[in-house]
């Protein structure tokens, strides 16, 4: 047996084994996902052999030369980090189903890692694979029109630890969007959306969007406001008025008494204003004491 004959026999054996393997895989049912909603569905992958992050793809499908090339294409996939907009490539044969299952898990990880994170626009997920299977609440969210400007910025900021973006204007605009969304979707579903997508519990949002919100004056959001404006008083209040107003506002806004996102901020502003008042009273007392000492010195001299 010469070398060429050996090579020919080896290639024939490899081809035969490949055909047998393909035939077995063809007869086997598609593998099942751990998610019941995905059972029986045809697996789909997105292929990264195109330069998706640098291109502006809009649904172009690239036919694979042979079914045997599919796993090599899909293993190079990193679609979750790309700017794909709905490109999905059906697998050529059930032979590729195991690779599709691996890719399903990749999308699961992609979605769950981004839930309840700031700065995520979930309306951009509409054409992503498996989105509604992984996150069924997306159906509720997408039944709402995509918010614009201020409501959009507020929603994408709810998951932030820093809630300093709230002010009277943003509260008013968010309340308007909330009431419109409640009429379309229902309060129960909207509460779920706040929790799942924006990491904000209803207990924290309710004081903002309720029909009788906690009192807020605009001076709270202006760092240059004098202490008496922060306490919502006139410029020359009595000591009794200051004490009563401060205590009543602290009872309303203390974080132990309300889940309002602005509770810590407002409490800090009220305490700062009260400390400024106390310092003013101390200085006035010192000035009065100096004046009294001067008069005494003039009287006894």
Strands 44-45 and 89-90, bridge-based pairing: antiparallel
Look at residues 66, 83, 114 and tell me which one is the last residue of a structural domain: 114
Residues 222 and 288 occupy one common structural domain: yes
Classify residue 273: in a domain, yes or no. yes
Domain that holds residue 175: 116-213
Give the per-residue pLDDT at 125: 93
Classify residue 284: in a domain, yes or no. yes
Supply the DSSP symbol for 75: H
Classify residue 172: in a domain, yes or no. yes
Classify residue 14: in a domain, yes or no. no
> In terms of Cα–Cα distance, which of 81, 77, 85 is closest to 102?
77
CATH number, domain containing residue 227: 1.10.287
pTM of the full structure: 0.55
72 with 38: CB under 8 angstroms? no
Classify residue 73: in a domain, yes or no. yes
Residues 108 and 150 occupy one common structural domain: no
Residues 160 and 248 occupy one common structural domain: no
Q: How many domains are contained in the chain? A: 3
Classify residue 96: in a domain, yes or no. yes
Tens-digit pLDDT profile for residues 93-138: 344 444 555 667 888 888 989 999 999 999 999 988 889 999 999 9
Beta strands in the chain (DSSP E): 44-45, 89-90
Residues 223 and 208 occupy one common structural domain: no
How high is the mean pLDDT in each 10-residue block of the chain (301 residues)?
A: 64 72 54 39 38 40 40 43 41 43 77 92 91 93 92 92 80 91 94 94 86 76 89 90 92 85 87 92 79 69 61
Give the per-residue pLDDT at 3: 59
> Would you mind telling me the total number of residues written for the chain in this entry?
301
Residues 146 and 185 occupy one common structural domain: yes
Output the six-digit token pair for 106: 């990749």
Residues 126 and 209 occupy one common structural domain: yes
Residues 200 and 120 occupy one common structural domain: yes
Q: What is the dihedral of CA 254, 260, 262, 266, to 10 degrees?
A: -30
Classify residue 100: in a domain, yes or no. yes
Tens-digit pLDDT profile for residues 27-65: 544 444 444 333 333 333 344 333 444 344 344 443 343
Give the per-residue pLDDT at 219: 85
Residues 197 and 243 occupy one common structural domain: no
> In terms of Cα–Cα distance, which of 104, 106, 145, 149 is closest to 123?
145
Cα angle 134, 137, 139; round to 5: 100
Q: For the residues of 170-206, what is the DSSP string, one character each?
A: HHHHHHHHHHHHHHHH-HHHHHHHHHHHH---HHHHH
Supply the DSSP symbol for 126: T
Residues 196 and 141 occupy one common structural domain: yes
Supply the DSSP symbol for 39: T
């Amino acid at each position: 047996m010469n070398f060429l004959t050996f090579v020919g026999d080896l290639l024939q054996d490899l081809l035969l084994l490949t055909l047998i393997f393909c035939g077995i895989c063809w007869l086997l049912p598609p593998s099942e996902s751990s998610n019941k909603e995905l059972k029986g569905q045809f697996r789909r992958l997105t292929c990264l052999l195109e330069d998706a992050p640098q291109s502006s793809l809009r649904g172009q499908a690239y036919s694979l030369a042979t079914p045997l090339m599919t796993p090599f294409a899909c293993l190079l996939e990193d679609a979750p980090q790309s700017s794909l907009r709905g490109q999905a490539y059906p697998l050529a044969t059930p032979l590729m189903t195991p690779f599709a299952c691996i890719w399903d898990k990749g999308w699961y990880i992609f979605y769950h890692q981004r839930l309840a994170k700031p700065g995520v626009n979930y309306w951009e997920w509409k054409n992503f694979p498996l989105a509604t299977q992984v996150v069924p609440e997306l159906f509720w969210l997408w039944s709402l029109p995509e918010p614009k400007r201020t409501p959009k910025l507020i929603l994408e900021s709810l998951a932030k630890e820093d809630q300093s973006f709230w002010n009277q204007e943003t509260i008013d605009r968010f309340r308007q969007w909330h009431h419109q969304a409640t009429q379309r979707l229902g309060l129960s579903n909207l509460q779920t959306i706040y929790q799942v997508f924006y990491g904000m519990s209803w207990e924290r949002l309710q004081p903002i969007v309720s029909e009788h919100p906690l009192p807020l004056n605009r001076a709270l959001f202006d760092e240059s406001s004098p202490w008496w404006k922060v306490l919502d008083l006139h410029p020359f209040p009595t000591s009794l008025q200051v004490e009563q107003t401060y205590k009543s506002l602290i009872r309303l806004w203390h974080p132990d008494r309300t889940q309002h996102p602005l509770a810590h901020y407002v409490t800090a502003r009220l305490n700062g204003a009260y400390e400024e008042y106390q310092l003013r009273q101390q200085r006035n007392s010192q000035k009065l004491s100096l004046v009294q000492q001067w008069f005494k010195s003039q009287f006894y001299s």
